[in-house]
Amino acid sequence: MRKKTLFILLGLLMVISLSFTKGINKIELNDLYISSGRFIVSGNSIITIDNKDFNIKVFGQDGKLIKKKDIKGNGPGEVSTLGTFIFPDGKGFILLESQKRKWIKYNKDLIFLKEGKLDSPVTFLKKCKYGYIAGMASFMTKYYRKIFLYSEKLINKKLLFTDYGENFEKKLNTNELYILLDSTDEKIAFFGGNKPIVNIIDYSGKVLKKLNLKKYIKPSEYSKEELSGISKNLPSEVRKMMEFKKYPPITQLLFISKDKILIVSGEKKKLKGWKSFTYDTGNNKLKEIKPLPLGDIFIYKNSNLYIMGEGENAPYLMKINIKEVL
pLDDT of residue 165: 57
Concatenated DSSP letters for 107-143?
-TTS-EEEEEE-SS--SEEEEETTEEEEEEEE-SSS-
Q: What is the spatial distance between Cα 307 and Cα 293, in angstroms, rounded to a whole number?
A: 8
| Extents of the domains making up the chain | 25-113+297-311, 118-293
Residue type, 64: K
pLDDT for 167 equals 45
Q: Residue 235 has what pLDDT?
A: 54
Q: What is the pLDDT of residue 252?
A: 85
pTM (2 d.p.): 0.80
Edge-to-edge strand list for the sheet holding 55-59: 35-42, 45-50, 55-59, 65-70
Distances (CA, A) of 192 to 55, 169, 200: 32, 15, 11
Answer whether 266's CB lies under 8 Å from 175's CB: yes
Q: Would you call 267 helix, strand, or coil by DSSP?
A: strand
Q: Give the model's pLDDT for residue 179.
A: 61
Sites in the chain below the pLDDT cut of 50: 1-20, 140-141, 167-178, 244
Beta strands 24-28 and 35-42: pairing type?
A: unpaired
CATH of domain 25-113+297-311: 2.40.10.480
Quickly count: other Cβ atoms within 10 Å of residue 238's Cβ.
18
> What's the CA dihedral at 8, 13, 14, 19 to 10 degrees?
130
